[in-house]
A = this chain, B = another copy of it.
Amino acid sequence: MTIEANENAVRVGGGRIRLGMVGGGQGAFIGAVHRIAARLDGHYELVAGALSSDAERARASAAELRIAPERAYTSFEEMARAEAARPDGIEAVSIVTPNHLHAPAARAFLEAGIHVICDKPLSMNVAEAQDLVALRERTGRIFAVTHNYTGYPMVRQARAMVEAGELGALRLVQVEYPQDWLSERVEAAGSKQAEWRTDPARSGAGGCIGDIGTHAYNLAAFVTGLRARELLADLSTFVEGRQLDDDVQIMLRYEGGAKGLLWASQVAVGNENGLKLRVYGEKGGLEWLQAEPNALWFTRLGEPKQLLTRAGAGAWPQAARVSRIPSGHPEGYLEGFATIYTEVAAAILAARDGGDPEAGVIFPTVEDGLDGMRFIEAAVRSSKDGNVWARLE
């Protein structure tokens, strides 16, 4: 079953899922990504938004996106209230603001009975995240966190192969995410993207670690099925005047004895988005690189290395299920992101029908978001305490 086939399955009820968005007004980056992801497989219709707290910008942004003027809000509280009251109100909301608004916005929509798709990191701290977990349980709503790399087909296959024991007992997890866009102090030179990401008030206690370190950590957890028990971290700030870390080195200790090494950097000149995961077990090894996402390298101990390709001869059903086109025609970042949206759509449709929203679908949840916050807090704590072991709790 491919995503394209899934598209059809989501037809039930006669219409697309009515979606709202918080954040993502003109000039934002990730908002546009979420909108493309929502459109790509055709399961959503964007009908409401609190796209900006600036009234004029909110209005103009909404107009561009064909959102009716009366559903262009300037506050998410108002939006949650108003939409919940409409018979044709939104069923789900995408939260694509800077980090400090994730939790307040998510709370508002959960309490209004609306499903939540929230960007990462989930919140400003573990406490907020725990509240969201509790609230989600109480409300029974669906809560997805867009650790989008888990949507790549070959990441799905890697997870399935590990789970099936193709690598044997795991020993090593090497994950890295180098970038270079913060090599200079661009936050002082007008970069909106850099401004809030380097501002503790909007980003939280972590800079690089929250922005991309959590992605790396989540990817490793997703593929290996392991969560870390403890870590030893060193967070650095290389660019003078910057308030948050721009480089992260972390040793990880997983349950069961596997060891990990995580490196994330935003000052590694020559790297765009070099997310790379390598997993080694007693019997085999896997390597996946986000920049060439349609490939997965697999070696069985004592055999030649194999190049497995999305939808190619070595593709597993878990990869094929979320592939849209034949192998050799690359799918990319937006397709992986769209897969998260489509999985959530299937869950929402199942919930509409009273079914089990999690049956047969895979997407990162609020619990993964909480795990990410524990990772960030432990790393910050370990680093501040002089690079000592800290538990994720």
Contacts and interface: CB of A to CB of B under 8 A. Distances in A.
Interface in A28-58: 29, 32-33, 35-36, 39-42
Interface stretch (A73-81, A113-121, A297-305, A352-360): A297-305
B328 A271 contact: yes
A314 B325 contact: no
Interface stretch (A135-143, A218-226, A231-239, A362-370): A231-239
Interface residues of A, number: 94
A263 interface: yes
A11 interface: yes
A285 B291 CA distance: 18
Given A171-B247, A269-B284, A184 B301 contact: yes
Q: A interface, by DSSP: helix, strand, loop or mixed?
A: loop
A317 interface: no
A285 B269 contact: yes
B267 A172 contact: yes
Interface in A1-42: 4, 7-8, 11, 14-16, 29, 32-33, 35-36, 39-42
B313 A269 contact: no
Contact of A332 (B14, B282, B331): B331
Contacts of A35: 42
A269 B285 CA distance: 5
B269 A247 contact: no
Nearest to A304: B314
Interface string A151-183: 000000000000000010001101000011101
B328 A274 contact: yes
Contact of A285 (B11, B65, B270, B331): B270
B303 A314 contact: yes
B329 A331 contact: no
Contacts of A328: 179, 271-274, 290-291
A76 to B, nearest CB: 22
B263 A261 contact: yes
A281 interface: yes
A270 B299 contact: yes
A11 B67 CA distance: 11
A124 to B, nearest CB: 25
21 contacts: A11-B63, A14-B66, A29-B325, A35-B42, A36-B324, A171-B238, A232-B232, A268-B285, A269-B301, A270-B298, A272-B327, A272-B329, A291-B294, A293-B330, A298-B304, A303-B313, A304-B313, A305-B309, A329-B332, A329-B333, A331-B334
